[in-house]
Structure 1
Amino acid sequence: MTVCAKPFRQECRRILLLAMPIVVAQFAQTANGFVDTVMAGRVSPDDLAAVAVGSAIWVPVFLFLVGVMQGLTPFVSQYRGQRSHQAIGGLVQQGLWLALPLGGLGFLLLRNMEPVLSLMEVDNAIRPMIIAYLQGLSWGFPAITLFLALRSLTEGMSFTTPVMVVSLIGLAVNVPVNYVLIYGKLGFPAMGGVGCGWATSIVMWLMLVLMVQYCVIFDRKQETGLFRRFAWPDSVVLKSILKLGLPIGLSIFIEVSLFCVIALFIAAIGAQVVASHQIALNVASMLFMIPLSLSLALTVRVGTNLGMSNAEGVQRSILSGLAIILVIAVVNSSVMILFRTQVAGIYTDDAVVIEMAAGLLLFAALFQISDCLQVSANGVLRGMKDTAWPMLMTVLAYWCLGLPVGYILGLTDWVVPAMGARGFWIGLVAGLTAAAIMLSLRVIWRFRRALPMPA
């Protein structure tokens, strides 16, 4: 397969223009968690612990809902490729209907987490604070799911800047609202770490209001009819959205839960091992946002070209994305290899932890190509409305290969003397490599079936 240089460069540019605002939005959302951690930590260790444990509960729930609502984006992008803007408005309306019960589900889950805290044997001293933090944050979930539905409208139509701007505004507002609620300013009671939960809820509602205002203007220009016609829930459309979105949400939840399980296994080895693992994981997660954003951009570009029945366009999108992703993987790997000690030193002054974290970052550097390939292949497949098989493939790669390999190498002497955290990171390399191979083969197979290439 060959691609002419000029169209190839143009497609690379389109993908990058789509992905760059998404990268900024992802970092802004991550920075909100960083701000909460720092500001709660300045109150007391108990407040910091409450926010940390609370975040470990609500973030996986949030990411699951993000995945489910991403089921809208392939439909929007394909309708845009077909220039069926009126269909987009009706589809997003159904997405808003879906967002209502999903937001309610998140609300109820976060307000009933006491049994989970008991099961986790969380310290009784901080348990009331965690519950209050989650209850405050729960009020934002109905807003954020509606925001996610509107986000699919703009991103699916290749307008990613609005979400970036709204995310940056949310970050800017989160800091002063945190300050007011944590320390009890402007007549509010001092809530400590609990105030972070309420501040996050306020930011979620603000983001929804800003997104609605933008989408009203956007709807008039694009003539989708989103706010001009009313439609009751359509079970057929809702089922089709869930058919795509539910596997995405489950895939994300499965991946997040894998890292939680690994952390629990490593916790028994020792505090320094846990610290080094957390540092390496945090660095890898931060750098992962770049290929993740590219994956979202690929979903839009592939979906749009499929909607246009443009096989050559789909091919260009895939090959352009592959070229960009390989460059990103090489850059990420180089950063981890060349600056691993300096990066680890940002997190701690403990020489032993720095040395251990630097060693784990070498494994992270090793799986960059696999990780970038698997996430970009997932993005392509979502653009093709293929999400069920990729979910099964990730379960097979992570839980049936990566975790067993990690456990055997890390905690047993069956193959080699127990390697501790390094064994689990070797398992991650194995799992991500397997996922990259299976998903890439799935992309090739789906592309050949989706559209015939012109002679």
Structure 2
Amino acid sequence: MNTVLSALRQIVRRGHWKGEGGYREVLAISVPLILSTSAWSLQMFVDRTFLSWYSPEALAASLPAGILNITTTSIFAGTAGYVSVFVSQYYGAGRFSRMGSAMWQGIYIALIGGFIHLLLIPFAPQIFALFGHEPAVQRFESEYFQMLCLGAAPHIASAAFSGYFTGIGRTWPVMWINFVATGFNLTLDYVLIFGKFGFPEMGMKGAGIATSAAAVVYCILYVGLFYIPGFAENDNALRQWRLDLELFKRLIRFGLPSGMQFFIDLAGFTGFILIVGHLGTEDLAATNVAFNVNTIAFMPMMGLGFAISILVGKYLGAEKPPLAESSSIAGFHLSFAYMSFMGLCYIALPSLFLLPFELGADPERFAPVAEKAKILLRFLALFALFDGMNIIFSSALKGAGDTRFVMFMLTTMAIFGLVLPVGLAVYYFQANIYTVWTIATVYGLVLALGFFVRFSLGHWKEMRVIEEAPPLD
């Protein structure tokens, strides 16, 4: 208990601006990653806005199918993306020759994940038939999921490439690559969904094709960075392609729980969304709109979380645990300030966030969806604070290698704190949409407290994901 109280005092004290582990360093690393994840957030937001203009059924289908695809790819992308922690710890330890090999182990995971997703494509109609959504929604869900599965391999590989450059602290090029690929995706979205410039109108299928094509663009741009002399810190990185079985196993050991964390988190919310679908298309569409709006807050904090993992990894690799802790505390302060601001905006300006959805939609059909979505944004105002806390402290734990605890905590809460209570509320007690969202908010609170207590106990400071350096001759 004293340890937790001591950590709480550390949390509320003012951090320092300059120097290692201060706000300035956290911002220097995180701002490009925040902008990168914001670009991805914008991509999702505009994509679903286009689909809301296309039809309400397309909008209702976009989140279940999209989240299911992200859920299945997240196991592999989360594992491959954990390359960033390996690279950051190798970088902090000054062992630059191992960084390229770590990246390539992530590429091999991408090839495995891509193959498995190709096998899922024929089964998409049967998968979405299980959830009992309306026939038009099911058809759109299947089309979107199938097209997204085509881009699984490059999507996962881009996580490994990105992990390399974020691990060495070169986050600005990652940002620009995200901007370019996002611009490509949004342009292709508009062209293929609505059939512009001579292309056929493809609707949901076009949205999926645009996203998969953008994943290929990501990979091409990342590979190009390695051909800038000296830019990658290790000019031999692309040539270190051989399978290193010991390193591959180590990446699986620490990275797979991280990938499972994403999978479990997303699976929990996928289950949440699918259960909400039984309340009706209006409730499902309102939930989709609310979650889509929340990406404005959530995705930037994911970028901050990536930065905290990198800094924790770097300072632990350099044997400087106090600076790893200081970076985490600075990250929490920044997250709390941003999430508080966004929560106030959700409460005070809900119509502003819903405006993009209303512009191209049928006013009469969208009006009841908008009214419910405005109320759901009030729940998100509180949930966002807890979510920011989750992201920062779980990211700090992952940067050290404490991925099994993160996976265990999320598994327990996703099952017993979210999916089962929501399922019971809907199927047995005929609860409405607001009761369901109350359960989700409490889930966020308990999860935040669990990660904070684990962080405050400090066991993570002794953890490392990289092997010991061989003795010098």
Q: Could you say whether these structures have the same fold, taking a TM-score greater than 0.5 normalized by the shorter chain as the test?
A: yes
Tell me which residue corresponds to 1:303: 313
Which has the larger displacement, 286-295 or 357-366?
357-366
Tell me which residue corresponds to 2:341: 331
Tell me which residue corresponds to 1:251: 261
**Secondary structure at the counterpart of residue 113 of structure 1:** helix
Report sequence identity in percent.
24
In 2 relative to 1, CA 292–186 (structure 1 residues): closer, same or farther, beyond 3 Å?
Answer: closer
Unaligned residue ranges in structure 2 (runs of 5+): 1-9, 464-473
Which has the larger displacement, 394-403 or 165-174?
394-403
The separation in 2 between residues aligned to 1:83 and 1:447, in whole angstroms, is: 24
Structure 1 residue 146 corresponds to structure 2 residue 146? no
Displacement of 1:397 in angstroms is 2.3
Give matches, 1:140-219, under 5 Å: 140-181=151-192, 191-217=202-228
Unaligned residue ranges in structure 1 (runs of 5+): none
Give matches, 1:11-410, under 5 Å: 11-39=22-50, 54-120=65-131, 134-181=145-192, 191-217=202-228, 222-223=233-234, 225-227=236-238, 229-340=239-350, 342-344=352-354, 347=357, 353-406=369-422
Which has the larger displacement, 340-349 or 428-437?
340-349
Tell me which residue corresponds to 1:442: 454
Displacement of 1:311 in angstroms is 2.3
The separation in 2 between residues aligned to 1:129 and 1:19, in whole angstroms, is: 36
Displacement of 1:354 in angstroms is 4.4
Displacement of 1:44 in angstroms is 6.3
The separation in 1 between residues aligned to 2:170 and 2:267, in whole angstroms, is: 32
Contact 1:170 1:207 in 2 (8 A): yes
In 2 relative to 1, CA 352–345 (structure 1 residues): closer, same or farther, beyond 3 Å?
Answer: farther
In 2 relative to 1, CA 342–411 (structure 1 residues): closer, same or farther, beyond 3 Å?
Answer: farther
Displacement of 1:75 in angstroms is 0.8
In 2 relative to 1, CA 301–116 (structure 1 residues): closer, same or farther, beyond 3 Å?
Answer: same
Displacement of 1:337 in angstroms is 2.6
Displacement of 1:352 in angstroms is 5.4
Displacement of 1:254 in angstroms is 1.8
Contact 2:81 2:106 in 1 (8 A): no
Of structures 1 and 2, the one with the larger relative CO (CA 8 A, separation 6+) is: 2
Contact 1:51 1:194 in 2 (8 A): no
Contact 2:35 2:300 in 1 (8 A): no
Displacement of 1:160 in angstroms is 1.4
Displacement of 1:4 in angstroms is 7.2
In 2 relative to 1, CA 188–303 (structure 1 residues): closer, same or farther, beyond 3 Å?
Answer: same
Contact 2:308 2:395 in 1 (8 A): yes
**Secondary structure at the counterpart of residue 338 of structure 2:** helix
The separation in 2 between residues aligned to 1:263 and 1:113, in whole angstroms, is: 17
The separation in 1 between residues aligned to 2:351 and 2:190, in whole angstroms, is: 34
Kindly provide the CA deviation profile for residues 205-255 of structure 1, in whole angstroms up to 9, marking residues without a partner as x. Answer: 12211110012326555125212x445212221111112222222222222
Displacement of 1:321 in angstroms is 1.4
Which has the larger displacement, 367-376 or 56-65?
56-65
In 2 relative to 1, CA 382–219 (structure 1 residues): closer, same or farther, beyond 3 Å?
Answer: farther
Contact 1:403 1:427 in 2 (8 A): no
Displacement of 1:47 in angstroms is 6.5
Kindly provide the CA deviation profile for residues 383-432 of structure 1, in whole angstroms up to 9, marking residues without a partner as x. Answer: 1011111111112223212444445666666xxxx652222222122221
**Secondary structure at the counterpart of residue 440 of structure 1:** helix
> TM-score when scaled to structure 1?
0.85
Displacement of 1:106 in angstroms is 2.5
The separation in 2 between residues aligned to 1:277 and 1:106, in whole angstroms, is: 27
Contact 2:393 2:452 in 1 (8 A): yes
Contact 1:377 1:439 in 2 (8 A): yes
The separation in 2 between residues aligned to 1:367 and 1:188, in whole angstroms, is: 42
In 2 relative to 1, CA 309–411 (structure 1 residues): closer, same or farther, beyond 3 Å?
Answer: same
AA matched with 1:157 = I
Contact 1:28 1:168 in 2 (8 A): yes
The separation in 2 between residues aligned to 1:180 and 1:351, in whole angstroms, is: 27
The separation in 2 between residues aligned to 1:244 and 1:224, in whole angstroms, is: 26
Which has the larger displacement, 52-61 or 150-159?
52-61
Displacement of 1:367 in angstroms is 2.8
AA matched with 1:11 = G
The separation in 1 between residues aligned to 2:437 and 2:128, in whole angstroms, is: 28
Contact 1:329 1:368 in 2 (8 A): yes
Displacement of 1:148 in angstroms is 1.6
**Secondary structure at the counterpart of residue 5 of structure 1:** coil
In 2 relative to 1, CA 8–241 (structure 1 residues): closer, same or farther, beyond 3 Å?
Answer: same
Tell me which residue corresponds to 2:438: 426
Displacement of 1:27 in angstroms is 2.5
CA RMSD of aligned residues (A): 3.3
Number of equivalenced pairs: 446
The separation in 1 between residues aligned to 2:250 and 2:287, in whole angstroms, is: 40
AA matched with 1:307 = G
The separation in 2 between residues aligned to 1:433 and 1:46, in whole angstroms, is: 32
AA matched with 1:369 = L
AA matched with 2:452 = S
> TM-score when scaled to structure 2?
0.82
In 2 relative to 1, CA 100–328 (structure 1 residues): closer, same or farther, beyond 3 Å?
Answer: same
AA matched with 2:324 = V
Displacement of 1:33 in angstroms is 3.4
Tell me which residue corresponds to 2:3: none
The separation in 1 between residues aligned to 2:18 and 2:143, in whole angstroms, is: 54
Kindly provide the CA deviation profile for residues 309-347 of structure 1, in whole angstroms up to 9, marking residues without a partner as x. Answer: 012211211221122122123212222232235545664
